[in-house]
Every structure is written in C-alpha cells, then in structure tokens.
Chains A and B, each alone.
Chain A
C-alpha cells in the first residue's frame, strides 16, 4: 500500500515507537556514540530478539519473517526517529540484500539465517576511497589462486566495518572468458592481512571504517556477475535510508515545535510570531513530502514497479534536502541553545548531514533519476 499503512502496520509502528522510546533515549544515544564500537552487543541482541528486527525482511526460506521493504521501512523510520545505535542498517539492509540478490544459494543459506537471528553482524564493503557510490566505479580486483581468492586494496566508508563479524566485499574478478565481472567475497573480520580503522565521523551515531586489505584470503560467494544484484541492493538501501531519514526529520520537527511553543520572548510565545508559524509550516511540508516519497518508494519496490530506480532516487533526493533543511531550521528556531552540545538538536543535525551524503547527495540522485528516464 503506497498511500496508507494497514492497521497491523500501524500497530507495529506504535509498539516499536514505545519500545525504542524507552530503549533509546538521547542519554543512551550519547553514551553509545561516545564509544568506539558505537553499540553494545548484549543490549542490541535483547532488543533484536524480542522484536525480530533483523529477520523482518529476510525471506522465510532463509530464516526470516518474509515481510516486505515497507515493513522494514517502518523499523528504519522509527530507528531514525530515536537515532538507535545498532548495527542494523549495515547488517539487515546493505549486507542482507547484497547476499539475498547476489550470493549463490549455498551462501544465502549459510549467512542469511544467522543475520536474521542477529547472531551474525555483517558489513558491506563496496565504496572505496574516492567515496563514489556508483557500483561501476569500483576498482578493487580479486586475484585467483587455485581455488581461493585474494583481495588487496582499500574499501572506505564501510558502515560498522570496524565491528562486524563478517565483511562482504565487492570486487572485480577475471572470469574465464578473459573479461571482468563483479563478484561478492566474504572475509572474516579477523582475517590475516585485514586492517580495520575506525574513521572519525562527524555523526558519531553512525560509525564508518576504512578497511585495508593486504593479500587477504577471501571466499567468492557469488556465481554470476553481481552488477544487477548490487544495483537492486543499492536501490533498496536508498529507499531504506530515506525512510530512516524522514523518521529523524519528523522527530526534529516535532521537538522544535514543542520548544517554540514553550519559549517566550517579547512577552509572548515565540510560536505566536507569524514567521515562526510559517517556518513551522514549511517544515511540516518538507517532512511530509519527503515521507510521502519514502513511503511510496518502499511500497513501489514491494510491488515490483518498473520505474523503481527513479522512484528510489526521488525518495533519497527528497529526504536528503528535507532532513538537512529541517535540521537547519531546528537549530535556528532554538536560537543559541540549539547551537550547544548539551541540547539534543545537533545529534539529529549531524545525522542529517551524514545521511545527506551517505549513498549519494540529492544532486547525485537527481542525475540518476534523469538517466533512468532518459533511456
């Protein structure tokens, strides 16, 4: 359903919201974001087992619950709302989809059930040091040595890459016909030759790592070229991220509204100034439009619509701008206090900034949109 949620979905959302409200107050977010890991295994497993969040969109045959992207996007939206510090986007969105679409049956059976149960955390290493998001720009090459493969090179901006148990790497490989194909490789996080560096990220709630591979032994887990599979993974991840982003934007918008209603200047509530009302209304419009695009895209993906590439980009471009603009307005409407570390606004402001560029800026997605319509 592209324009409304079912009763069950709404119920699931409100249940989840209450749950995360309790589990992820900003005191907890601040505590976890200050750690190198960024999340805590025991605590995350408790949340995850109770709610089955990592299983939600994985097909039943691989140990999941078999729901669609729409349901998973409810989870993401609520996580974005509460800035939940957990290895969810890395494992259950990026990597689970890459495996689902790109890996051979054997490896789907091997990894997906473990990701679904939450026992295995996984990161997808595809972006390189250039920070380019398009799959075709990847340069890492795997070399074949008898039956094993070896990886050398650098993958960067790898979400949770410093912590995950399993790393799935996108790299090129020579196939028998003498041309190259894109393939997926699995690498154990403790593999010899793999160096993991946590990067300093402005948004401390989203940990990024640089992974340096020096002749690391890897297992090829895909049989065919994975360009299509990665494309699908990318689209799905963009849609997922857009939903996560509108959750954060809405939270900021609501908190800001509450603040201006309470704050007095010039002997009256600052919410009584027309300019405040107009700005609050603009924020509502920004967020609601971005929500519509994010919701529509998730449902369109589930429905298998043909224009999904452009739709995913509409969602991401829209969310990128709406979230950042909402964050800028939120700081502004708080005045001096909005610029302080102790006020929570900057936590979302920084998430807005990291999400604005993660998986591509609005400009990048507008170009993708045009390419997909101009074929």
Chain B
C-alpha cells in the first residue's frame, strides 16, 4: 500500500478550505479535527484518526501551518495518556477519553514517581485495595507535573504485596477531582512550581478504570514511559501559542497561559540552542575566538543530535525495527541542554549572574541556567537511560538484581513512607 504524499496534501488542503476559519471556537474546531481524523491522522480510523503512516504527519502539519490553521498541541502528559489508552485501554476508555484529549478539554498527569521510588518506579508502594466494588487508593506520589490542573491521572499502584515487585503493580486512570486526592505544589530551583506532591487518601477508582489486567501495571507503564522518552529528543517542541488574529487564536493563547502554563519553562530547560547565534552577535561574544569554538562545538552536537533523532523517526515512520539511534535521543537532548547552558553563560558573561528584568531577554537566559538540570532527570535519569541502552541495545550482561524475584514486601527500601 503506498499512499501518495501529494494526494494527502491535496486532501488536507481541500478539507481545510471547507472547514478552517479563525472565527471558530477552539473546541468546535478540534471536534472537527477529531471527527475528520485530520488532527491525529496516524491514529486508527475508528478512533479519530485516518490510519495514515506517521511519516505523512509532517506534510499534513505543514499544510495546516501554511494557512495558519491550528493543530492539536502534541505536548504534555495527555498525549502519553492517549498513546497508553490506544495501546492498552478498553473501548470504554477510548470512547470516554480520546476525544477530550484531542479537544484539549482534559488535562492529564502521570502519577508514577513516589518519594521512595523514582528511578525504581516499579518499587511504588502506593496501594490500591478492592473494597466493596471500588478500588481504594492510599499513598503518596511526587514530582507530578500538572497535577494541580489535571482532571485525570495515570496511576501506577501496588495491588499485591506478596507478588514480585513487577507483577504486583496495576495501572489505573484516576479522577483527580475527588476528596481523596490532595495536591500540593512543589517549588523548583528555577522558581516555578509545575510539579506537585499528590496525597492519595482513600481515593476511589471504579473497577472499569483499571487499564489492562490486574498485575499488568508495569507493562502498561513501560508503554507510557517509552512514549515519554521517545518524545524527549531534540525534535521536541513545546506548545507555544500561534500568532494570529481571530477568536480561535485568542482562545489558544488563553489555553497556553492556563493549562499549558506548567510547561512554560520547558523550552528553556532544553537549552534554547535557537537563541545562541543571535545572542552571540548581539553581545559581540561572536568575536571571541574561544567562545566561537564553544559555539561551534555546541552546534555540532545539536545538529548531529537532531539528525540522529530524524534517523530514528524515519525508521519508526517506515516501520523498520528501531536501531541504536532510537534510544539515544533523550540522552543526546540532556547533553545538548547542558552544553547550551554553558555556552549561554560564556556569551552572557557577567550578565549570566542576573535574573528577571535585569537579565538578558527578560530572564529567559537566566531561566535556562537554572532549568537545564531537569533534562537529565525528568522522564528517567541519564543513568537509567544508559542502563537500559547498555543492557537492551548493546546486550551487555544485566546488573545483578536483588529485588526482582522476591515478594515485594521482603525487599529493602527507603524508610520514607
């Protein structure tokens, strides 16, 4: 089956001509995208997509952007939720959640990490117990991005203490707006508070909000994480409001300011390589031979990381098995972020000490310098990525494990509850 790109472009153009208008309501527009399948064209046709290969998505998006038509913001946890539900969810889940993910009406969060288990996510101790006909959840989650805005949470919880660590976990979708769920913002070193502690006290989950089978939680979580890590390459872009005139653009700007607000600093955390050359010229740092070398080194890293990510995407789009390049995106992205922060420091010189309105670009540069460390931690640390790559891609001997075969209750762990 070969689908012609030109043919798809023609179809999109036709469809846009008939349907797009900047005077539409944002949700109304996105409902059109859901119903026509043009919003998530690579999704299955029966679930708001068109069964098209991912490789055609960029062409479709290009047609949208040519006329300034809005697409679906493909960042944030909700896209991870969608991928997980498409993979493992029931028809009821797909029915209930996918459309409102496309319209952007629902905000999602990922309730995986706990104070005692971050890298070791499978060590989660938050418990879900069946009481009567409901799951009752008790425990604490942490670093939960957007929890304070979220309607729904992707929850990893322990349903069996006697099972081994990985088999004792199950995966749920939890309603965040209920008395048993309390979120408390956590301030970050960059002054933002986009993540939270979430206290679950007799929080309830209906049985049909369990995803996949009991005990399959780890497997489902792995799907979510794979999508998160894959998306963390240098091709990632963070929803920034489009510039345009019309009610729909105003609504999108409001969305960016509200539901997308926790991601405001994410471009900075990635290092803002895009600003480097302009900053170097405007500060005259470009004349400094040592800084020129540093910039060139950064650009070499940045470009080759980008091309590596493109190779990985291309393979994925053509349905080829993932090569080693596919696992390197996230690691490369944290290297780029770190290197970029260093070069921004050199370019800014003494100004790198300042923040807020006293600092270059109204604090954007300062924000890079105190945000980049998140890249190598969030979504799985660099060390964990390297463990995975060395053991699964390079087939190096597995680290001896002390915690895989015993019942979970017998494994030593942190004393924090």
Contact = CB atoms under 8 A, between A and B. Distances in A.
Interface stretch (A74-82, A199-207, A226-234, A246-254): A199-207
Interface string A331-355: 1100110111111011001100110
B113 interface: yes
B202 to A, nearest CB: 26
A265 B143 CA distance: 17
B370 A335 contact: no
Contacts of B109: none
Contacts of A339: 188-189, 373-374, 377
Interface residues of B, number: 54
A208 interface: yes
B411 interface: yes
A275 B383 contact: yes
Contact of B373 (A208, A265, A331, A358): A331
A265 B374 CA distance: 19
Interface in A221-279: 263-268, 270, 273, 275-276
B338 interface: yes
Contacts of B58: none
Nearest to A366: B290
Nearest to A358: B353
A59 interface: no
Interface residues of A, number: 48
Contact of A263 (B354, B377, B414): B414
A303 interface: no
Contact of A264 (B370, B373, B399, B413): B413
Contacts of A268: 402-403, 412
A200 B376 contact: no
B117 interface: yes
A157 B403 contact: no
A199 B113 CA distance: 38
A203 B117 contact: no
Interface string B171-190: 00000000000000011110
Contact of A267 (B342, B366, B403): B403
Contacts of A354: 353
Interface string B329-373: 000000000100010011011111111111100000010011001
B356 A342 contact: no
Contacts of A264: 116, 412-414
Interface in A43-66: none
A121 to B, nearest CB: 20
A324 B343 CA distance: 13
A160 interface: no
Contacts of A276: 383
B413 A335 contact: no
B296 to A, nearest CB: 14
Interface stretch (B48-56, B70-78, B118-126): B118-126
Nearest to B351: A131
A127 interface: yes
Contact of B352 (A353, A366, A367): A353
A200 B354 contact: yes
A361 B346 contact: yes
A357 to B, nearest CB: 5
A127 B356 contact: no
Contacts of B354: 199-202, 208
B352 A357 contact: yes
5 nearest CB pairs, A to B? A131-B350, A267-B403, A346-B189, A341-B187, A265-B120
23 contacts: A157-B353, A199-B358, A200-B355, A201-B353, A264-B413, A265-B117, A265-B119, A265-B120, A266-B402, A268-B412, A332-B373, A335-B119, A336-B118, A339-B373, A339-B377, A340-B187, A342-B186, A346-B189, A349-B373, A357-B348, A358-B350, A358-B353, A363-B290
Interface of A: 127, 131-133, 156-157, 199-203, 206, 208, 263-268, 270, 273, 275-276, 324, 328, 331-332, 335-336, 338-343, 345-346, 349-350, 353-354, 356-358, 361, 363, 366-367
Given A263-B414, A266-B403, A363-B290, 4 more contacts: A156-B350, A202-B369, A266-B119, A335-B118
